[in-house]
Amino acid sequence: MRKIDEYFFALYDLSLYLDTHPDDCGALSEYHSLIETYKEYYDEYVKTYGPIAFTDVKSDDYWTWVAEDWPWEGGMA
């Protein structure tokens, strides 16, 4: 989770820079590289520990967001 937070912070900071420097190709390239790594960490975390956000829930016929125990209830290790 720490890596996810670190990459999110870097992406957010870089996005603010790109708001004022939209033609900086080096920064844009770095953004794309960071977003790839961020997605890898994020997807691995969700696969291992469960959803971080409700948008991660994969439910076709039943809303599973609150169906499992929460981490503090001993549901996820």
| Residue pLDDT, tens place only, 15-70 | 999 999 999 999 999 999 999 999 999 999 999 888 888 888 877 787 777 777 77
Neighbouring residues of 41: CB distance < 8 A, sequence distance ≥ 6 = 3, 4, 7
- Residue 34: what residue type? L
| Pairwise pLDDT comparison (4 vs 55), residue with the higher score | 4
Write down the residue that tokens 């691995």 correspond to: 44
